[in-house]
Amino acid sequence: MKQLKLYPLLAILGAVLIWGFSFLSIKVTVAVIPPLTMAFIRFAMASFLLFWVHRWLEPRGKVAPADLPLLAGAGLIGITLYFYFENNGVKLITASAASIIIAGIPVLTLLSEALFFKGPFNGVKVGSVLLSVVGVYLLVTGDSQGLGRPGAGLGYLMMSGAALAWVIYVIITRPLFRRYSQLTIVCYQTYFGTLALAPFLFIERTDWSAVNTPIVWNLIFMGVCCSALAYYFYVYALDKLGANLTALFLNLIPFITVLAGWLILGEQLLPLQILGGLLVIAAVCVMDWEPPRFKKSVAQTGHP
Q: What is the pLDDT of residue 21?
A: 94
The full 3-state SS of the chain, as one line of letters, equals CHHHHHHHHHHHHHHHHHHHHHHHHHHHHCCCCCHHHHHHHHHHHHHHHHHHHHHHHCCCCCCCHHHHHHHHHHHHHHHHHHHHHHHHHHHHCCHHHHHHHHHCHHHHHHHHHHHHCCCCCCHHHHHHHHHHHHHHHHHHHCCCCHHHCCCHHHHHHHHHHHHHHHHHHHHHHHHHHHCCCHHHHHHHHHHHHHHHHCCHHHHCCCCHHHCCHHHHHHHHHHHHHHHHHHHHHHHHHHHHHCHHHHHHHHCCHHHHHHHHHHHHHCCCCCHHHHHHHHHHHHHHHHHHHCCCCCHHHHHHCCCC
Q: What is the pTM of this model?
A: 0.85
Q: What is the pLDDT of residue 302?
A: 55
Q: What is the pLDDT of residue 294?
A: 46
Kindly list the domain boundaries of the chain, sorted by start residue: 2-300
Q: What is the pLDDT of residue 176?
A: 87
Q: What is the pLDDT of residue 153?
A: 81
Closest by CA to 37, choosing from 96, 109, 91, is 91
Q: What is the pLDDT of residue 29?
A: 95
With contact defined as beta carbons under 8 Å apart, do 246 and 299 qualify? yes
268, exposed or middle or buried, with CB in 10 Å at 0-12, 13-18, 19+? middle
Q: For residue 4, which amino acid is it?
A: L
With contact defined as beta carbons under 8 Å apart, do 68 and 231 qualify? no
Greatest extent of the chain over all pairs of C-alpha atoms, in Å: 56
Closest by CA to 297, choosing from 136, 84, 119, is 119
Pairwise CA distance, residues 81 & 103, whole Å: 18
Query: Could you tell me the end-to-end alpha-carbon distance of the chain, in angstroms, rounded to an integer?
Result: 32
Q: Which residues of the chain have pLDDT under 70?
A: 1-4, 113-125, 140, 142-150, 243-244, 287-304
The CA angle 80-199-190, to the nearest 5 degrees, is: 35
